[in-house]
């Protein structure tokens, strides 16, 4: 009997099988990426966040979880205004992190 609903595929992530090489490259170039405490100050002040979902916090978490496609899509929404950098309580240069991630994606595409 069809009740009009179905089960969604699992959204669990097996962290032991995830490729986090892009995150590791980022951390070697920008050590500040590891000091993020995911407080959300960057997202709260971001002009693009409420319209596009841009978030440095989510960007870093997605990189740690191997969700590189989501990160690449999110990067296109950043206006590089630097507001996130001004409000970061840890003093992380989030704008530079975003630019570094963009460069890393350019290098990955160039290698293929």
Q: How many CA atoms lie within 13 A of 51 on its CB side?
A: 7
The pLDDT assigned to 112 comes to 53
CA-to-CA distance for 12 and 46, rounded, in angstroms?
A: 28
Please give the Cα distance from 110 to 98 (Å, whole number). Answer: 18
pLDDT tens, residue by residue, 53-82: 888 999 999 999 999 999 999 998 999 999
Q: Of 22, 83, 19, which Cα lies nearest the Cα of 50?
A: 83
The reported pTM is 0.80
């Amino acid at each position: 009997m069809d009740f009009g609903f179905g089960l969604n595929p699992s959204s669990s992530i097996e962290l032991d099988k995830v490729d986090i090489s892009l995150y590791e490259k980022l951390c070697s170039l920008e050590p500040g990426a590891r000091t993020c405490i995911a407080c959300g100050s960057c997202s709260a002040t971001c002009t693009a966040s409420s319209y596009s979902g841009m978030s440095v916090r989510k960007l870093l978490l997605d990189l740690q979880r191997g969700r590189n496609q989501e990160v690449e899509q999110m990067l296109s929404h950043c206006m590089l205004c630097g507001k996130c950098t001004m409000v970061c309580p840890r003093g992380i240069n989030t704008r530079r992190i975003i630019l570094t991630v963009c460069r890393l994606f350019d290098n990955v595409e160039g290698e293929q």
